[in-house]
A and B are shown apart, each in its own frame.
Chain A
Amino acid sequence: MSGHGLPCVHCGLCLDTCPTYRLLGTEADSPRGRIYIMEAIESGELELDAQAATHLSRCLGCLACESACPSGVSYGRRIDEFRPQLAARAGTEGILKNAAQSLYTNPSLVDLGLRGAALLDRFGLGALRRQAPGLGLLPSASTSGATTDNDGADWKVTPLRRSRVHQPLRARLRVALLSGCVGDQMMPQINRDSVEVLQRNGIEVVEMPGQGCCGALALHSGRRDEAVALARANLAAFARIDDVDAFVTSAAGCGALVRDYDHLLAGTDVGEEAEAFSALCRDVCELLVEVGFKTPSRPLTSAGPVAYHDACHLLHARGIAAAPRKVCEVATGSAPVDLGENNLCCGSAGSYNLDHPVLAEQLGRRKAVLARQSPPTTVAVGNVGCMLQIARALELEGVSAVVRHPVQLLAAAYRQSAGRG
């Protein structure tokens, strides 16, 4: 296969940014090693045997290596093109994995899981619950606000209908929200708060009927066709609404893929639409900073010291670092500190914690340990998956801090300011 963009010159500068290399120390679990293996498979020097597949599948897709690579190697696209082969190899194991994944993308099953988890937690059986497959990955309500702590937000209605009454009379911009799938269900309050924050800043939010999962989970698991189908469905939904200035996501993982629809669908009959769509996609914090947003009259001091962690799909996939920090700063009145090792993935990475629970947990715990060193009251991170992962790690390590999306902090600051004048 060629057409991968720029070649890897084997300099090794990406090695130490790679979470799996940092944990395992094995070259085959580094970006340079993985590229080497892929090239050797392509040239017939290696087969995609169990060992090669293990090294490749351990990749989190965090793209830290792309940030580090001076040669501009498009590692992410390259491994994604390889993933179907990996999935095909995985056989029965893969079937089980896909089943577990569909559990996560099936709304009613997730709902059931969340309820079950909340129930077990309520009866003090949280420790037991965390051992259970599937359920173990969910954090308790108190740390993440994932379940009952959603202050009334209901995933069964669209984010627009969750929000109260802030649609501006005279809008300066019109946007549609890409609400995502499982993340929206687990933390419906994030999209609701995104809508509210946008509206309070004079931005009209419109419905986008017919939209669905962005396809990231499928793509990164090697189900490329499924990802393409999902992307096409979203493009069709996009074609049905007119005159929006931007499509907004609050989940970095979705944001990274929708921005890459142009590449995913390049050369197809909808290539042009995909390009137009990708160009209009924005992360919620990115858009706020781009068009300007209000400073609340009273900063949200109750959030306490905030430690910000960069979601890989913001930092590495999109190069977005300043905007979410700015949102935190305006919301709380002081700039957040870094959680630490901010360019290192927390281990969430889509369904990674289903496939590689040990590595995922090690990475998660690293974050919690850092959080303990300079205790933040709030950990802010702009992606649902990371929020769940970090919340769970904080719980495992017994660190008391809550996890919030930056827009949640801003929404809370606005509400508090409005309430007290």
Chain B
Amino acid sequence: MTFDSKLLSELRAVVGAEGMVEGRASLKVYECDGYTLAKAAPDLVLLPQTTAQASEVIKLLAARRIPFVPRGAGTGVSGGCLPGDAHVMVGTSRMRAIRNLDLANRIAEVEAGVVNLEVTRAVEGRGFYYAPDPSSQSACTIGGNVAENSGGPHTLKYGVTVNHLLALEVVLPSGEVVWLDRCGEAPGFDLVGVFTGSEGTLGLVTAAKVRLMKKCEAVTTLLAVFPGVPEASRAVSAIIAAGIVPAALEMMDALVISAVEAAYRFGFPSDAGAVLIIELDGLAAGLDALAERVGQACIGEGASEIRRAADEAERALLWKSRKRAFGAMGRLTPNYCTQDGVVPRSRLPEIVAVITEVSARYGLRIANLMHAGDGNIHPLILYDESKPGEAERVVAAGDEILRACLDLGGSITGEHGIGVEKLGLMGAAFGTETLAAMADLRAAFNPLGLCNPNKVVPTDRSCVEVVRPRPRGGG
């Protein structure tokens, strides 16, 4: 798409030359996010520095009915940033101010482009932290977190992004700036809740007031080693059934362990079929007893040994291994596709059996990483983009696994969103009436479909084909 020069100069007047990304090389890098199976470069990327600038550029686009797609750090893994019909991208990478830290009330007001981990960094010296901790937290933005309602290992006990939001500043697709506030006990609809998880289809988040948490007095982290994924899955249910809510309850299988071992040399037992990482926090008194009970539950389901992080450094390394496990897959494979599905916790063993079967039938290696406490599975399908037909097989295998999640009473995404990747499954997950209601809701905010069109809720135009792999390279 080409833009008339008047529009371009008006946009430039708002964001400055540094805020306008044009030209092939500069734009090409925006053709995908962490989901590399579909690619399309935008024709223009705008990087406003303030809410006022964001509002101005969106007004200019709206006046010409030009749709746009929001982008944070592009760590999304469902193709939410894919331009599709929107030829303009509005990125928040230059909106990085921490506007206010109100520690007395435990509130931080940060701009959308602030990186998740930076919020914690800004307050950790005072004993606070920002709880939602997606594994991508060192890179992903608060705006992206809101859009995807991101969770993390500590979601089990502390909830996902929406549970830590107090207010959102958003630029609606018309360019109007509004604050959606749930700070006071205001009556009426919870619009923050509506906006969170809408994957950029309702407008651009420009800032958020988030809740800060006080660090727990004590924390301890256990590593339980199992002969295989089925035993570990059963242990998850056993722990919860014992009435214990760990701060985190994560599973990695043998393939994932071998990748993180190559990257971080933590010293995971080489013969482990699966491990659970179990974090317990609370008051110091009683933590040992709790750890003992968790240990017993694991042994009861077949754990061969239980280890415990000796100090903060060991704990940090263990979490680094876990949080960077996705990225570490590059050690095993040229490409991989992260799947994201949910099953009721008690049915983890069943979905694991499905995954094993799909893996064998498609001839694709599948590694398993799970926020097991939430029943949130992340099968990582390993492949090689340069092998003809493999990318297509990956998509089909992923689809089968997600459909099995639905059959087991679960969902097609836990935290990575629908984006373009899972549009085709929305019909299987929801009835037409529900989908129509979603479309109506979107239309209330985004009546002209100008903001991130053709995502999340399927339309007749939103079918995305798996593109041909590029001749060579990563992706």
Chain A residues at the B interface, C-beta cutoff of 8 Å: 2, 6-17, 21, 24-28, 30, 32-33, 35-37, 39-40, 42-46, 49, 51-52, 55, 68-73
- Pairwise interchain contact A16-B115, C-beta atoms closer than 8 A: yes
Using Cβ atoms and an 8 Å threshold, which residues of chain B touch A40? Answer: 25, 28, 473
Most buried by A among B21, B33, B93, B329: B93
CA gap between A72 and B475 in the complex, in Å: 15
Using Cβ atoms and an 8 Å threshold, which residues of chain B touch A37? Answer: 25, 28-29
Using Cβ atoms and an 8 Å threshold, which residues of chain A touch B30? Answer: 27
B114: min CB distance to chain A, Å: 10
- Pairwise interchain contact A43-B473, C-beta atoms closer than 8 A: yes
B24: min CB distance to chain A, Å: 7
B13: min CB distance to chain A, Å: 19
Question: Of B237-245, B303-311, B331-339, B369-377, which binds chain A?
Answer: B331-339
Most buried by B among A8, A11, A51, A71: A11
Using Cβ atoms and an 8 Å threshold, which residues of chain A touch B300? Answer: none
**B34 touches which one: A10, A35, A55, A72 (CB < 8 A)?**
A10
Which bucket holds chain B's interface residue count? 35 or more
Residue of A whose beta carbon sits closest to that of B25: A52
Residue of B whose beta carbon sits closest to that of A6: B330
Using Cβ atoms and an 8 Å threshold, which residues of chain A touch B18? Answer: 24
- Pairwise interchain contact B470-A71, C-beta atoms closer than 8 A: no
Chain B residues at the A interface, C-beta cutoff of 8 Å: 18, 21, 23-26, 28-30, 32-34, 36, 45, 47, 73-75, 91, 93-94, 113, 115, 136, 138-140, 262-263, 324-331, 334-336, 470-475
A282: min CB distance to chain B, Å: 22
- Pairwise interchain contact A73-B330, C-beta atoms closer than 8 A: yes
CA gap between A32 and B324 in the complex, in Å: 16
- Pairwise interchain contact B28-A26, C-beta atoms closer than 8 A: no
Number of A-B contacts (CB under 8 A): 132
- Pairwise interchain contact A16-B138, C-beta atoms closer than 8 A: yes
- Pairwise interchain contact B327-A42, C-beta atoms closer than 8 A: no
- Pairwise interchain contact B75-A12, C-beta atoms closer than 8 A: yes
Secondary structure at chain B's binding surface: helix, strand, loop or mixed?
A: loop
Assuming the contacts A36-B28, A39-B474, asked whether A68 and B330 have C-beta atoms less than 8 A apart, the reply is no
Q: List 24 A-B contacts (CB under 8 A).
A: A2-B472, A10-B32, A15-B75, A16-B139, A25-B93, A27-B30, A27-B93, A28-B26, A28-B28, A30-B29, A33-B29, A39-B473, A43-B470, A45-B28, A45-B470, A46-B24, A46-B25, A51-B23, A70-B263, A70-B326, A71-B327, A71-B330, A72-B263, A72-B331
CA gap between A55 and B470 in the complex, in Å: 22
B220: min CB distance to chain A, Å: 25
CA gap between A35 and B136 in the complex, in Å: 19
- Pairwise interchain contact A69-B327, C-beta atoms closer than 8 A: yes
A18: min CB distance to chain B, Å: 10
- Pairwise interchain contact B94-A25, C-beta atoms closer than 8 A: yes
Using Cβ atoms and an 8 Å threshold, which residues of chain A touch B136? Answer: 11-13
- Pairwise interchain contact A42-B473, C-beta atoms closer than 8 A: yes
- Pairwise interchain contact A25-B115, C-beta atoms closer than 8 A: no
A33: min CB distance to chain B, Å: 4
- Pairwise interchain contact B138-A9, C-beta atoms closer than 8 A: no
Using Cβ atoms and an 8 Å threshold, which residues of chain B touch A9? Answer: 327, 329-330, 335-336, 474
- Pairwise interchain contact B26-A55, C-beta atoms closer than 8 A: yes
CA gap between A52 and B328 in the complex, in Å: 28
CA gap between A72 and B333 in the complex, in Å: 12
- Pairwise interchain contact A14-B139, C-beta atoms closer than 8 A: yes
Assuming the contacts A26-B47, A35-B474, A39-B473, asked whether A11 and B28 have C-beta atoms less than 8 A apart, the reply is no
